[in-house]
Structure 1
Amino acid sequence: MRRLIVLLILALVVPAAEAAARQRLHAFTAAIDGLAGEFRQSVYGPQDEVIEESGGAVSLKAPRQFRWEYRAPYPSLIVADGDHVWIYEPDMQQVTVRRQGLEEQDSPLAVLLDPDELDRQFRVEEAGVSDGLEWLALTPRKPDEAPFARARLGFDAGGLARMELVDALGQRTVMTFSGWRRNPRFPADAFVFTPPEGVDVVGEVGLSAEVIPLAE
């Protein structure tokens, strides 16, 4: 479930324009090459029942590195180092790795660092003010290729505050962000992933898919 949600999030892009929510976006993203913050995630079913709740931290650095860390209730980690995406699930003792592609480059993580690059995949409308936020409504230009039906981004004075995605089956994912830090000083290994000893590494390590059991 978490992997699907992250892939849905990574598929989003936001175009640049000059209106209220877009102005919030531009003000937030001006003169930055890195961001870090906290998030809370809630997944709702078609009847608006809560399916899953979780939380953690997100970091991103231009041009295409990010770290998405779930801390509760079950830890997991997704790291994009610029070449590969690593997904570590401690409860399964498994790491999945694949080549980093356009779905990560053209993402809301990327849009926070370079919004002017990403105005091609969505029709975007100003969606007014609700819950104290300025909203953008997004509709995929190629709905048959998109993993979601629609999305909304909500901005306040601190930047991106909420992200909502709805898939074709009516499942809704809500991400609430807080504590954004602009241009933080990241540790040297923030966007480097080394598989722990004793876990299986599954996926595209080189040019072909492999399964590599690491020695204890």
Structure 2
Amino acid sequence: MPTFIAIRRGLIGLLAALSFSHAASAATDGESVIAQFTDGLTGVDGRFEQRVWDADGQLKESSSGRVALAVPRQFRWEYQAPFPQLIVADGDHVFIHDPDLEQVTVRKQLGEEQQSPLLAVVDAEERQRQFVVTGAGARDGLQWVELRAKRDDAQIDRALLGFAGAQLVRMELQDSLGQKTEVAFSDWQRNPDFAAGTFRFIIPAGTDVVGDYDPKAEVIPLAD
């Protein structure tokens, strides 16, 4: 699997996990910071800018687009520049659509979210089983939380989440190969009214399908 694809899948799992829980017990400083974001959350919609560096510190990818999350496990991650790619999760399956390749990869959503630091953030049992969670102090005007994987085979070794109050502003990921991904979020709308079909996908005619197929899926673009 190409490393950048693994990072994108890991990233989506992180964000999806944030969307389906209420506040965690504030047993640590890190948990209390996360609780401000998850308390009362039913969904969020916003924009992102993402940059990826290789293990030598060389910038290898810059991208931007839109992201939407909804309780309990639905998300939509849309890369708009420099190349389009759409990732939609309906709660059961994850659809990864590459228009330029005319290909859709479909996977069980549970498999995509395994080993996800953010899944552990909002699930106390998963958090204790998979990660060490600590408050990481203040930096760049944000409160940071660190999640460090306990398993040696985790896709994401370490994640840093930067919050401004109840808003997730930045995310920094380190993978098992030393690659670093930074994501900056903006224009968040908290608990919006999503258009019907935002988190459903239909496979375009003539598109190659890899993996599972869900004929009930349908997709509706998000407005700019």
* Displacement of 1:103: 3.8
Q: Is the 8 A contact 1:26 1:115 kept in 2?
A: no
1:6 aligned to 8, 22, 44, which one? 8
The corresponding residue for 2:183 is: 175
The corresponding residue for 2:103 is: 94
For 2:116 and 2:177, the matched residues in 1 are separated by: 22
Residue 192 of structure 1 pairs with residue 200 of structure 2: yes
Pick closer, same or farther for the CA change 1:75–1:172 going to 2, 3 Å. Answer: same
- Aligned residue pairs total 204
For 1:75 and 1:90, the matched residues in 2 are separated by: 7
* Displacement of 1:41: 0.5
Structure showing greater radius of gyration is 1
Q: Over residues 169-206 of structure 1, what are the superposed CA-to-partner deviations in whole Å (9 max), with x where a residue is unaligned?
A: 22100011111111111111101100122211221227
1:153 aligned to 148, 161, 171, which one? 161
Mark the runs of 5 or more structure 2 residues left unpaired by the alignment. Answer: 19-23, 215-224
* Displacement of 1:81: 0.7
Residue 82 of structure 1 pairs with residue 82 of structure 2: no
Bigger relative contact order (CA 8 A; separation at least 6)? 1
Q: Over residues 135-183 of structure 1, what are the superposed CA-to-partner deviations in whole Å (9 max), with x where a residue is unaligned?
A: 11111122x2301222211111351111111123221000111111111
For 1:58 and 1:73, the matched residues in 2 are separated by: 16
Q: Is the 8 A contact 1:76 1:88 kept in 2?
A: yes
* Displacement of 1:90: 0.5
* Displacement of 1:28: 2.0
> Identical aligned pairs, as a percentage?
46
Pick closer, same or farther for the CA change 1:46–1:74 going to 2, 3 Å. Answer: same
For 2:147 and 2:141, the matched residues in 1 are separated by: 19
- Structure holding more helix per residue: 2
What secondary structure is seen at the aligned counterpart in 2 of 1:149? strand
Q: Is the 8 A contact 2:10 2:113 kept in 1?
A: no
Following superposition of structure 1 onto structure 2, how do residues 130-169 of structure 1 map, counting pairs within 5 Å? 130-142=139-151, 144-169=152-177
Give the TM-score normalised by structure 1: 0.83
For 2:25 and 2:183, the matched residues in 1 are separated by: 21
Give the TM-score normalised by structure 2: 0.80
1:34 aligned to 20, 28, 43, which one? 43
For 2:100 and 2:141, the matched residues in 1 are separated by: 38
Pick closer, same or farther for the CA change 1:183–1:106 going to 2, 3 Å. Answer: farther
Q: Is the 8 A contact 2:49 2:62 kept in 1?
A: yes
